[in-house]
Amino acid sequence: MTKTSDKHVGLSAAQEAEIQELREARSTTRRATVSALEEVLYDPIPVLDHGFVRVIDYMGDDSAIVQAARVSYGKGTKHTRGDAGLIGYLMRHRHTTPFEMCEIKFHVKLPIFVARQWIRHRTANVNEYSARYSVLDKEFYIPAPEHLAAQSTANRQGRGGVLEGEEAARVLDLLRQDAELCYEHYEEMLNEREDGSTVREGRAGLARELARMNLPLNIYTQWYWKCDLHNLLHFVALRADPHAQYEIRAYADAILKVLHLWVPIATAAFVNQVMEGASLSGPALRVVRQMIAGQAPTQEESGMSKREWDELMQALGRDA
């Protein structure tokens, strides 16, 4: 994880200056403090070509989870297992409320089509840059060649192989040209350029809230986004999953790295239990029991669909 802010990362000069100032400020606090996270506080972690994630503030640490869980146990509790044991137990048994006692706030820069997936996570707080008030920056997401995936033919939601040669070149040309053209017309309709200058004297300029509708979905927006740890882990579980679109997965991966710095015990338990684990249905458990007993159950006998069967075999490392 880089710790140096980077002009390529899509920060404005004003934001760079603000970050510098905040990084240098120090206060004394009685609050729970996580030094590994303090190290990267305010620093943008680059994601995609112009995006970033940076931590703006946080509340609580692994101990806050333990502390909240132990409220339930009261005075009579014998603290026989350590924090890791207790947190693992909570994670395994979906005792989720103690994880809600930690909170984190990010500043994120992301393409609008990613923002539209992200915002579906409702138990969070968000303040987004408003294109009703302000002119959007001229920054568009253009995939790196290795992420220029073809439509999967097997899976209607998925990606197939990577586009190559002329087809890839054409796609990149189209994305760049259309973004360029739409933004130029955005400025013309506004009658105002990105640098604040007027396009043509004597024109009124279309309202910002209208002109923005000409911009494509790969333009970058930014927001402050605040979430508790339980809901953030749920976000990561869904969005760092192989079924998630690559572009949001890149953000989820960056957040997962932040989680390892912030709450290392909870994050380890989460990776162990959720990211690397699997949920087995009743019929799937019966199949597993039969296989352990040396039997050779078949999909037909199992009562499972072909698709569910294949998923189980994959979880058991028995991909056809």
Q: Does 20 bind a second copy (CB under 8 A)?
A: no
For residues 243 to 282, the per-residue mask of contacts with a second copy, x marking binding by CB under 8 A and - elsewhere, is x-x-------------------------xxx-xxxxxxxx
Q: Are 135 and 235 in contact (CB under 8 A)?
A: no
For the segment 50-79, give every residue that binds a second copy (CB under 8 A).
57-60, 64, 67-69, 71-77
216/264 with CB nearer a second copy: 216
Catalytic annotation, pick one of 239, 249, 307, 318: 239
**Phi and psi based region of residue 74 (left: phi greater than 0; alpha: psi -120 to 50; beta: remaining):** left
Q: Give residue for tokens 């692994």.
A: 62
In whole angstroms, give the CA distance from residue 315 to residue 150.
26
N-term to C-term CA, the chain? 37
For the segment 153-212, give every residue that binds a second copy (CB under 8 A).
156-161, 163, 167, 170-171, 174-175, 178, 181-182, 185, 188-190, 196, 203-210, 212
Q: Does 32 bind a second copy (CB under 8 A)?
A: yes
2/210 with CB nearer a second copy: 210
**For the chain, how many residues are written?**
320
Distances (CA, A) of 89 to 86, 96, 100, 269, 285: 5, 11, 16, 9, 21
For the segment 277-306, give every residue that binds a second copy (CB under 8 A).
277-285, 288-289, 291-292, 294, 305
- Selected binder of a second copy within 6, 49, 138, 214 (CB under 8 A): 214
For residues 88 to 127, the per-residue mask of contacts with a second copy, x marking binding by CB under 8 A and - elsewhere, is xx--xxx--xx-xx-x-x-----xxx-xx--xx-xx-xxx
Contacts of 14 (CB under 8 A, 6+ apart): none
Residue 239 annotated among the catalytic residues of the structure: yes
Contacts of 320 (CB under 8 A, 6+ apart): 310, 313
Please identify every residue annotated as catalytic.
239
